[in-house]
Amino acid sequence: MFWLTSILVLLHLTRGNSPCFGRSLQISPSRTQFFKRESLTLCCGADERIMTNSKSACSHKSHECNITLAGVHHSGSYWCDSNSGELGEAVNITVTGGSVILKSPVHPVPEGTSVTLHCLSQKLDVVKPINESCTFSRNGLLIGVGLTGEMSFAAVNRSHKGLYTCTFSGVESPGSWLAVRATSSTESPPPTNHHLLLPLVYAGPPLLLMVLLGIVGGCCWRKSRKEAEEAASEDEVHADVVQNKTKKKERDRSDCESTCSYGESLQPQPIRIPDPPLYSLLGSNRSLQSVADTKCEQLWPPDKNFKR
Bridge partners, residue 81, by sequence: 49, 87
Tell me the average pLDDT across 253-275.
Answer: 58
Same-domain pairing of 79 and 136: no
Same-domain pairing of 36 and 109: no
Order of all β-strands in the sheet with 64-67: 26-28, 40-43, 64-67
Q: How many CB atoms lie within 10 A of CB 54?
A: 16
253 pLDDT more than 80: no
Same-domain pairing of 123 and 67: no
Using alpha carbons, list the distances in angstroms from residue 236 to 116, 246, 287: 71, 15, 90
Confidence band for 128, pLDDT divided at 50, 70 and 90:
very high
In this structure, what are the phi and psi dihedrals at residue 236, rounded to the nearest 5 degrees?
-65, -40
Question: Of 165, 180, 195, which marks where a domain is finished?
Answer: 180
Give the pLDDT confidence score for residue 115 in this predicted structure. 96
Task: Report which residue type is found at 13.
Answer: L
Give the pLDDT confidence score for residue 305 in this predicted structure. 59
5 pLDDT more than 50: no
Same-domain pairing of 17 and 62: yes
Could you tell me if residue 247 is inside a domain? no
Listed ranges 139-148, 179-188, 202-211, 257-266; the one with the highest mean pLDDT: 139-148
Could you tell me if residue 89 is inside a domain? yes
Could you tell me if residue 207 is inside a domain? no
Could you tell me if residue 196 is inside a domain? no
Confidence band for 235, pLDDT divided at 50, 70 and 90:
low
Using alpha carbons, list the distances in angstroms from residue 201 to 10, 11, 194, 198, 209: 11, 10, 10, 5, 14
**Measured torsion, CA atoms of residues 148, 150, 156, 161, in degrees rounded to the nearest 10:** 140
Tell me the average pLDDT across 54-68.
Answer: 84
Same-domain pairing of 51 and 67: yes
Could you tell me if residue 132 is inside a domain? yes
- H/E stretch holding 41 reads strand 40-43
302 pLDDT more than 70: no
Same-domain pairing of 114 and 81: no
Could you tell me if residue 36 is inside a domain? yes
285 pLDDT more than 70: no
Question: Of 180, 214, 234, which marks where a domain is finished?
Answer: 180
The domain that holds 145 is classified in CATH as: 2.60.40.10
DSSP, res 87: B
Domain count for the chain, please give it. 2
- For helices 198-265 and 2-15, the axis angle rounded to 10 degrees is 160
Question: Of 43, 66, 97, which marks where a domain is finished?
Answer: 97
Contact 62, 51 (CB under 8 A): no
Give the pLDDT confidence score for residue 297 in this predicted structure. 66
Could you tell me if residue 79 is inside a domain? yes
The range of the structural domain enclosing residue 28 comes to 13-97
Give the pLDDT confidence score for residue 294 in this predicted structure. 66
Could you tell me if residue 234 is inside a domain? no
For the whole prediction, is pTM greater than 0.85?
no
Same-domain pairing of 23 and 91: yes
Distance CA 246, CA 249 (A): 5
